[in-house]
């Protein structure tokens, strides 16, 4: 992965300071490990190529340092906050406020938490929000009628039915009853089908979040080996299609994949969306890879992803944390989709 110091005044200053401070030290192959950890602390998240640009003469030292240098953490929460703030400014100047309907069926605690967050984000961004808390035993017909009413409501631009739904309700039927231009989750067959063209209507929020996070690192997607672990219709497949659209060479792995490690080891970009804690360990990751952990697992009240974060960060170039990575970005992308839905409604009317 390339990420070198540029030629801006700020970067030249950093370069000068680093050279002044460490040049003599790095020329010496026998420096003590105390000094090494000091270098690592000061360099913090600097990239390998950036430092090798400055100290090209001592590859031995660099290898030693970088074997111990942790990945750069992709702060999804911070990036998402910026997106929500930008949306807030845009929405402030809009005559017609974007409207989002959040439909929650039953009392699934995780679903309740997700819907609470989405409601909070809507308020934060200035999106008009209607929330429907429906009884677990609601009939499929009543739920379809509600979605139909929301489809017809001009104040509502986006309709989101939180999944999973109770067993007696056909999830596919309900999801596909949302009009495609109001499908802010991007889960309807029409929205997913559009991923095969370069003209998506509303792409799935989580897949958009993943692409956004990869691009936030500055790493190029084009020409890279991207491996997606998980092939669900709402995460794995859309992510794979979007990476393909961006000219990555894409491999999709799933529960029947033989030698998962053989595939993940080749990944410059590794996206994991499975729902199994610690599925991806350090020895399965290529040095310097961009690792995006979509998984959400609860262990003893604590949220963790699918990646063994503490160890994988020792080899990856960039890595998302759980919580604070894909989750908040997905919600930010949902808000973006809601804004986009306003434009779609205008075009359709």
CB 230 within 8 A of CB 207: no
Q: How far is the CB of 235 from ligand NAP (least distance, A)?
A: 4
- Interface positions, 306-345, toward ligand NAP (CB under 6 A): 326-327, 330
Of the candidate spans 53-61, 142-150, 153-161, 223-231, the one that interacts with ligand NAP by CB under 6 A turns out to be 223-231
**40 part of the active site:** no
User: In whole angstroms, how far apart are CA 237 and each of 9, 21, 166, 196, 269?
Assistant: 43, 48, 24, 11, 15
Residues numbered 266 to 305 that lie near ligand NAP (CB under 6 A) are 273-276, 279, 294-297
Span near ligand NAP by CB under 6 A; candidates 18-26, 89-97, 98-106, 249-257: 249-257
Structure tokens at 207: 């897949």
Instruction: Round to whole Å and give the CA distance between 90 and 106.
Output: 34
3-class DSSP assignment, residue 220: coil
Contact letters (x/-) for ligand NAP, 64-103, by CB under 6 A? ----------------------------------------
Q: Least distance to ligand NAP from the beta carbon of 163, Å?
A: 8
Q: Which of residues 180-209 bind ligand NAP (CB under 6 A)?
A: 206
278 phi/psi in degrees, rounded to 5? 60, 25
Helix (H) / strand (E) element for 131: namely: strand 128-134
Cα 201 from Cα 318, distance rounded (Å): 30
Catalytic residue among 48, 72, 118, 313: 118
CA-nearest of 119, 112, 198 to 158 is 119
Our answer to whether residue 185 is catalytic in this structure is yes
Binding site for ligand NAP (CB under 6 A): 206, 229-232, 234-236, 253-257, 260, 273-276, 279, 294-297, 326-327, 330
Q: What is the set of active-site residues?
A: 118, 162, 185
């Amino acid at each position: 992965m390339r990420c070198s110091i540029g030629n801006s005044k700020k970067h030249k200053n950093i370069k000068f300071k680093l050279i002044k401070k460490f040049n003599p030290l790095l020329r010496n192959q026998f420096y003590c490990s105390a000094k090494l950890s000091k270098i690592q602390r000061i360099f913090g998240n600097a990239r390998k190529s950036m430092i090798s640009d400055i100290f090209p003469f001592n590859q031995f030292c660099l290898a030693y340092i970088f074997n111990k240098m942790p990945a750069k953490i992709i702060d999804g929460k911070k990036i998402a906050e910026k997106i929500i703030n930008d949306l807030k400014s845009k929405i402030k100047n809009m005559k017609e406020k974007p409207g989002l309907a959040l439909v929650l069926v039953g009392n699934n605690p995780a679903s309740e938490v997700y819907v609470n967050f989405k409601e909070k984000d809507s308020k934060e961004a200035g999106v008009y929000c209607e929330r429907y808390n429906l009884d677990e035993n609601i009939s499929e017909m009543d739920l379809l009628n509600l979605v139909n009413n929301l489809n017809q409501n001009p104040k509502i631009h986006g309709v989101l039915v939180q999944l999973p739904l109770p067993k007696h309700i056909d999830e596919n039927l309900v999801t596909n009853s949302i009009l495609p231009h109001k499908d802010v989750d991007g889960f309807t067959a029409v929205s997913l089908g559009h991923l095969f063209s370069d003209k998506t209507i509303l792409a799935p929020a989580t897949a958009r979040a993943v692409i956004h996070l990869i691009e936030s690192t500055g790493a190029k997607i084009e020409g890279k080996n991207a491996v997606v672990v998980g092939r669900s219709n709402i995460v794995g497949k859309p992510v794979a299609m979007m990476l393909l659209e961006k000219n990555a060479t894409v491999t999709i792995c799933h529960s029947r994949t033989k030698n998962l490690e053989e595939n993940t080891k080749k990944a410059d970009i590794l996206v994991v969306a499975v729902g199994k804690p610690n599925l991806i360990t350090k020895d399965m990751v290529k040095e310097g890879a961009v690792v995006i952990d979509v998984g959400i697992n609860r262990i003893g009240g604590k949220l963790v992803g699918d990646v063994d974060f503490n160890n994988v960060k020792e080899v990856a170039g960039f890595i998302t944390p759980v919580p604070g990575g894909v989750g908040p970005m997905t919600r930010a992308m949902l808000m973006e989709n809601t804004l986009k839905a306003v434009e779609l409604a205008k075009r359709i009317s």
